[in-house]
Structure 1
Amino acid sequence: MTANSIYPSTGDLNNTQAARAPVEIKPDLSFADRTLAISASEDSPEVREAYRPYLMNEKVASSDWIARLELSTVIKMVEEDLNRTGGDRLKVLVLFGSMRCRSYSRLLAFEAARILFRLGCDVRVYDPTGLPVKDDVQHSHAKVQELRNLSKWSDGHVWVSPEQHGNLIDWIPLSTGSVRPTQGRTLAIAQVSGGSQSFNTVNSLRILGRWMRMFTIPNQSSIPKAYTQFTDESAEEGGSRLMPSSNRDRLVDCMEEFVKYTIIMRPHFDLFGDRFSERSERIAAREKRRQQDLAATAAT
């Protein structure tokens, strides 16, 4: 008797027979070369100067690698969403975690922002310069208030962190009284590494996003040996651009997936914030106030 006769192989160790049959979504090529980016004429000059450092000059932006991406399915989704909402663009806050002169997390954040901008999002990149170290006394600091206001404004976040990262996100609280600044928002995460491939940071950020009650998309991006993945500052397409690779393709996947999830979930954000435990607390609080009012009335 052989081992195979005792433990016969099913021939399907990955249980692929239980998977749903894949459906090929054919792109609508009439949308293939489209851009839904906010034009300079319809954009706020103040917002453009403060929060869109990722923008390239028009000549580069109209012909660079992002302009050549085939994103017809998601562009069609975004256009339908804009028509349905009267032009209410997805509002995306992008955070990066390094202040180095040549910060690869910043360069990757800019590339992500450019993809999202082409997809019609109102993308704002927060500059952490001047943000104080997290403590219990500087909540009114201008940079802290700016970050919190941007988080409140947003529909979703994109976090890009080096493998060794700081305390930027700590300044966005889990709760402020009954208000949860990040609850219900979507989240995409990415990391850059100085060494070989690693997922330590994105895995940590995924846990953090969950505790902040955000919906972190399934996909994620990690760029190993980041110092080898970007062109130099004087290269074509504006310089300091992400080179072609499967890592770059994965970044595009993440941004495309992030937009799809945000479009689908945004109309239902309030429903996801409705919880039994919190309803019970509100009912108990109202009953307590009613009893107090009755007692005060009886006393008079």
Structure 2
Amino acid sequence: MTDTPNINNEAFAKIDPSQLFPPVRSTHAPKILLLHGSLRERSFSRLMNEEAARVLTGLGAETRSFNPSGLPLVDDIDASSSHHKVQELHELVNWSEGMVWCSPERHGAMTGIMKTQIDWIPLSLGAIRPTQGKTLAVMQVSGGSQSFNTVNQLRILGRWMRLLTIPNQSSTPKAFQEFDDQRRMKPSSNYNRMVDVMEELVKFTLLTRDSKDILVDRYSERNESGPDLIKRVNQKSS
């Protein structure tokens, strides 16, 4: 390629459409992990996720939820990756093909509980991110007027972890008015929006799960080995 002399031709090639549509497709139920960002007894982010899980089940997905109670802080001197709650979270992330992150908005941001869960998800194992190519839906609940601060932050984290974050999202204001005494979400436009998001998540998961490796495959990573990448990133300036 005379017009692109900086490209390594051994790591560069035209996109083969057949790679994006493998002839053999997975037939099992989409595996969706739901994370919520509050430990309160009446946690609206948990209640929202419980409603979402019911919808996902109705759409044909298999769901699992993680209870963040007891999860240590990432920089806690007594905490380590061998902690049973950390191991549980890692196993669930590895099991999943897609995720739902739902957090309350606190002081204009996601909660520390939500961020701690995300921080415990390994960003990389060697040069590979274990979350890359999996789908993600983001939701938030607010005690006051509608806001999008938290879902916007969750999107940034999802992109950083190379998750395929779906376009739709849910932000529910005055969440205390949205659930009845049986802790079920009342019929509303907010409920309908949550259903929309779950429907889109299942569709995107089915569409991409067999092609996720090729979707997030990058020229720069093919051009540089994992050990070389780590060495370059960690090198100290002279």
> TM > 0.5 between the two?
yes
Q: Whole-Å Cα distance in 1 between the matches of residues 212 and 62 of structure 2?
A: 18
Q: Whole-Å Cα distance in 1 between the matches of residues 25 and 99 of structure 2?
A: 23
For these two proteins, the number of residue pairs brought into alignment is 196
Aligned to 1:142: 84
Letter in 2 for 1:263: L
* One of 53, 64, 85 as aligned partner of 1:124: 64
Q: Secondary structure at the match of 1:116?
A: helix
For residues 213-228 of structure 1, what are the structure 2 equivalents within 5 Å? 213-228=162-177
Q: Whole-Å Cα distance in 2 between the matches of residues 94 and 133 of structure 1?
A: 20
Gaps spanning 5+ residues in structure 2: where?
A: 1-23, 229-238
The Cα shift of 1:173 comes to: 2.3
Q: String of CA shifts for 1:151-202, please: whole Å, max 9, x gaps.
A: 1111000001000211221111221223312100000010000101111100
Letter in 2 for 1:270: D
Aligned to 2:199: 256
Query: After TM superposition, what 4+ stretches of structure 1 lie above 4 angstroms from structure 2?
Result: none
Q: Whole-Å Cα distance in 2 between the matches of residues 250 and 124 of structure 1?
A: 21
1:152, 1:181 within 8 Å by CA — same for their partners in 2? yes
The reply to whether residue 90 of structure 1 matches residue 30 of structure 2 is yes
Pair 141,284 (structure 1): closer, same or farther in 2 beyond 3 Å: closer
* One of 163, 168, 193 as aligned partner of 2:142: 193
* One of 35, 41, 50 as aligned partner of 1:101: 41
For residues 138-287 of structure 1, what are the structure 2 equivalents within 5 Å? 138-164=80-106, 165-166=111-112, 167-232=116-181, 239-282=182-225
Aligned to 2:73: 133
Q: Whole-Å Cα distance in 2 between the matches of residues 178 and 145 of structure 1?
A: 20
The Cα shift of 1:131 comes to: 0.6
TM-score (norm 1): 0.63
Q: Whole-Å Cα distance in 2 between the matches of residues 284 and 253 of structure 1?
A: 42
Larger relative contact order, structure 1 or 2 (CA cutoff 8 Å, min sep 6): 2
Q: Secondary structure at the match of 1:163?
A: strand
Q: Whole-Å Cα distance in 2 between the matches of residues 179 and 129 of structure 1?
A: 28
Q: Secondary structure at the match of 2:199?
A: helix
Letter in 2 for 1:161: S
Tell me which protein shows more strand as a share of its residues: 2
Pair 199,283 (structure 1): closer, same or farther in 2 beyond 3 Å: closer
Pair 146,284 (structure 1): closer, same or farther in 2 beyond 3 Å: closer
Q: Whole-Å Cα distance in 2 between the matches of residues 201 and 284 of structure 1?
A: 35
1:189, 1:205 within 8 Å by CA — same for their partners in 2? yes
1:148, 1:181 within 8 Å by CA — same for their partners in 2? no
